[in-house]
A and B are shown apart, each in its own frame.
Chain A
Amino acid sequence: MPFDPKHSGADQAAAQQRFLSLFLRSEREVFRYVAALVPNVADAEDIVQQTALTLWEKFDSYDPTQPFTPWACRFALNKALHWIERRQRWQGLLAGGLAEELANRREELRPELERRLRHLDACLNKLPPEHLKLVEGYYHRRTGIEALAGGSGRTVEATYKMLQRVRHSLRACIETAVRQEGASP
């Protein structure tokens, strides 16, 4: 299945370049779109990868006058729904049309979400070093939870709990920042 037989040689290489430069620019957005439905990072990444394969297969049908990200997100939604279908737990979470509802609502809320997440950077900097290290390990370095737990002498469960608390304090910090913004426009 490696390469599209429709293209050959230079055409193929050029199409790949076009595809990759578009996809790589959109990938972060596609990931966030998918992760709104399937928040577990590893699973969301898998869906994005599967989506990328489909996008490349369908790349012939992409209209270059249209923005790439929404085109990609349509396939990502299908991939995500398909993926969910085979996993009972996610199916339970997203059943009854909730997946589509979340995707739509996220679109509506986007300015609101942006206004808040602008403060994430500053709020991260206010975290105690230990918390920042944990968040960085988990999200950025993608260290496994066992290793994170082992490294800090906590149990796995306590480490998950701590991640939850750190996100909670980031959430609180963001809310404070947004309120202050409102107070002094």
Chain B
Amino acid sequence: MSLLFPSQEFDEAVAAVCHGQASDEQARALNELLRVDAAARDEYLLRVELHTRLASDAELFAAAAGAAAYPDLKALGSARAPNTVALPQRGSGRRPVVNWAIGLAACFLILAALSVAWFKRSSSRKLTSMAVAMLSQAVSPRWNSRADARAVGTALEPGWLRLKSGLVQATFYSGTRLVVEGPAQVRLVSPGEAFCEAGRIVAVVPAQARGFRMGTPQIKVTDLGTEFGLDVKRGSAEVHVFKGEVVYQAEAATKQNLKQGKAIVVDSDGVERQVSADPAAFASLFGLERKWLAALDQRYKDWRTASARRNLDPSLLAHFDFEDIVPSEWTLHNVASWVSRAPDATIVGCQVTEGRWPGKRALEYRSMSDRVRLNVPGEFQALTLAVWVNVKGLDRQFNSLFMCDGFDPGTLHWQIRNNGALDLGVQGPRATDVQIFASPPVVGLNQFGQWLYLATVVDGKRRRVIHYVNGTVVSQHELKHPPPYRVGTAELGNWNPGEIPDKPPFLIRHFSGAMDEFALFNRALSDAEIRALYFEGKPQPDN
């Protein structure tokens, strides 16, 4: 496709770019045109500027539609800033932007909001994904830069994987698995295509992914249902077929077949020669599965050691590690060691499932009656809640994590909203007097199915509430209600409205997903402690 200017196609391509809807073809054609045609470039800039103004000049609409003045701070402003309180705002409805922005509390909020920018992308507005593969395993990966780092379990969009060292496995949605050994530069193109600029790769292409294409600067390989190795160095490329058959084509040459046990070497002058395939040269890549399982097992052991030490913390009111749950027994043991700990909890419903590591147990919540009931007597100046969860979906308006029964004074309600925001309610003296602290959306489609460490600190002394995801602050809020805070009877993963006169029909608030560790401390843990707990418990040995 090539574009003319002016033309209807040009108009359409520019509009598509503005809407984020351009096809690869349109993008490339526009690029070619804009690079050579100065008039087209200027027209393009003007149109884009018009579009951009409409998106960023709120006064235009204040005048045109008589709308209330709206802060022109979309990227940072109300759309993203954590909404601390669902109670009526003080003052008039008008939001004085400057005062709001420079208030100290707001500073914290904004910076916290900024720090979750990367989360927000994943919970994006539209339910579409460009992903073509997922990162399925990794052993000691060192990525080229922090921006290149990918965690195991993340969806991979078309683009580069840049690895300094270590092994990673990308599983394409077509079924093809690529084991990549660093140093490597591999570009994912589509579910059926990748390009290797440099590095060593073993590709396992199942029958349903037959036709998978693997490019290199020297040679193109089309798979006919196989397992093959690829070694691309400065200027040269080698293709070794371990199983099945591939078709390869060096630059300007005709396509040729390469059968099992054979290899082709193309040197920097483009000279080809056939040799025998050498699986031994790729031995380090074949061992990925074994190394991966060994690394996971090590993580599990490390966590056990760390966890046993944590249990000695006198501030630990409850610690459920879900290690010794037996399906026939309905008791969940509180493994905290101090006598001041809360009693064991009772499991109602739920299924036993696999937790963060092979062999580690967890509880799965599926139905609206699934819950774990516990009782934590006492009054507290501060509380820290922390849980490892694997969210399957946010089916309910509120999805319970840890919920005190009813609405007694000083009690807490910790849940995930259906927009992915982490939400803590702290009850004041009266049932209607609740202060709600919601983070920006942090649990989205890209987080579903992954183990997440959610933590919230209620700090009565410093009067603040801080939400954390995977050890990082996602929002911080000013807490009005003074201590003491209470728990009493409560539930993990569900909610009991308790003794409320003329009970209205309450929302179903059960959690959907798995939970494999919960801890409740009677003090405010520091940022560093939360981070340490995350690193002790994170399932993957990657980065």
Identity of the chain A residue whose Cβ is nearest the Cβ of B52 in the assembled complex: A35
Q: Name 23 A/B residue pairs within 8 A (Cβ), A-sorted.
A: A17-B107, A20-B102, A20-B110, A24-B101, A42-B125, A43-B20, A49-B76, A49-B80, A49-B114, A50-B118, A52-B114, A56-B114, A87-B157, A93-B30, A96-B35, A125-B64, A140-B60, A140-B67, A140-B70, A144-B125, A160-B21, A163-B15, A170-B50
Q: Is B48 an interface residue (CB 8 A)?
A: yes
Selected from A20, A32, A87, A106, the residue in CB contact (under 8 A) with B53 is A32
Contact: A117 with B22, CB < 8 Å? no
B102: chain A residues at CB < 8 Å are: 17, 20-21
Q: Is A89 an interface residue (CB 8 A)?
A: yes
Q: Is B117 an interface residue (CB 8 A)?
A: yes
Contact: A53 with B114, CB < 8 Å? yes
Q: Is B61 an interface residue (CB 8 A)?
A: yes
Contact: A109 with B42, CB < 8 Å? yes
Given known A20-B107, A24-B97, A42-B125, contact A31–B30 (CB-CB < 8 A): no
Of listed A31, A53, A89, A145, residue having the most chain B CB within 10 A? A89
Q: Is B253 an interface residue (CB 8 A)?
A: no
In the complex, the number of residue pairs spanning A and B with C-beta atoms less than 8 Å apart equals 216
Selected from B31, B47, B147, B473, the residue in CB contact (under 8 A) with A96 is B31
Q: What would 18 more interface pairs be, CB under 8 Å, given A88-B189, A144-B125, A160-B21? A: A16-B104, A20-B110, A24-B73, A36-B45, A39-B20, A40-B19, A49-B80, A49-B114, A49-B117, A49-B120, A86-B157, A87-B130, A97-B35, A101-B35, A109-B46, A139-B54, A142-B74, A171-B50
- Spell out A's residues near B (CB within 8 Å): 1-3, 13, 16-17, 20-21, 24, 27-28, 31-32, 35-36, 39-46, 48-50, 52-53, 56, 82, 85-90, 92-98, 101-102, 105-106, 109, 113, 116-117, 120-121, 124-125, 132, 135-136, 139-140, 142, 144-146, 160, 163-164, 167-168, 170-171, 174
Mask: chain B, 183-197; 1 = CB below 8 Å from A; 0 = not: 000000100000000
Contact: A121 with B107, CB < 8 Å? no
Q: Give the docked Cα–Cα distance between A48 and B117 (Å).
A: 10
Contact: B50 with A120, CB < 8 Å? yes
Q: Is B289 an interface residue (CB 8 A)?
A: no
Contact: B28 with A98, CB < 8 Å? no
Q: Is B313 an interface residue (CB 8 A)?
A: no
Contact: B60 with A121, CB < 8 Å? yes
Of listed B35, B50, B527, residue having the most chain A CB within 10 A? B50
Selected from A35, A40, A105, the residue in CB contact (under 8 A) with B42 is A105
Mask: chain B, 1-23; 1 = CB below 8 Å from A; 0 = not: 00000000001100111111111
Selected from B20, B24, B130, the residue in CB contact (under 8 A) with A42 is B20
Contact: A32 with B49, CB < 8 Å? yes
Looking at the assembled complex, report how far the CB atom of A9 sits from the nearest CB atom of chain B, in whole angstroms: 11
Selected from A32, A48, A94, the residue in CB contact (under 8 A) with B31 is A94
- Spell out B's residues near A (CB within 8 Å): 11-12, 15-24, 27-28, 30-31, 34-35, 41-42, 44-61, 63-65, 67, 70, 72-76, 79-80, 97-98, 101-102, 104, 106-108, 110-112, 114-115, 117-118, 120-121, 124-126, 130, 147, 157-160, 189, 472-473, 476, 527
Q: Give the docked Cα–Cα distance between A22 and B413 (Å).
A: 38
Identity of the chain B residue whose Cβ is nearest the Cβ of A106 in the assembled complex: B45
Contact: B72 with A164, CB < 8 Å? no
B49: chain A residues at CB < 8 Å are: 32, 36, 106, 113, 117
Q: Give the docked Cα–Cα distance between A125 and B102 (Å).
A: 34
Identity of the chain A residue whose Cβ is nearest the Cβ of B23 in the assembled complex: A89
Contact: A24 with B50, CB < 8 Å? no
Q: Give the docked Cα–Cα distance between A117 and B65 (Å).
A: 18
Identity of the chain A residue whose Cβ is nearest the Cβ of B112 in the assembled complex: A2
A160: chain B residues at CB < 8 Å are: 15-16, 19, 21
Looking at the assembled complex, report how far the CB atom of B289 sits from the nearest CB atom of chain A, in whole angstroms: 28
Contact: B111 with A124, CB < 8 Å? no
A168: chain B residues at CB < 8 Å are: 11
Contact: B45 with A17, CB < 8 Å? no
Identity of the chain A residue whose Cβ is nearest the Cβ of B116 in the assembled complex: A49
Contact: A117 with B50, CB < 8 Å? yes
Given known A20-B107, A105-B45, A109-B42, contact A121–B63 (CB-CB < 8 A): yes
Contact: A92 with B117, CB < 8 Å? no
Q: Give the docked Cα–Cα distance between A113 and B46 (Å).
A: 6
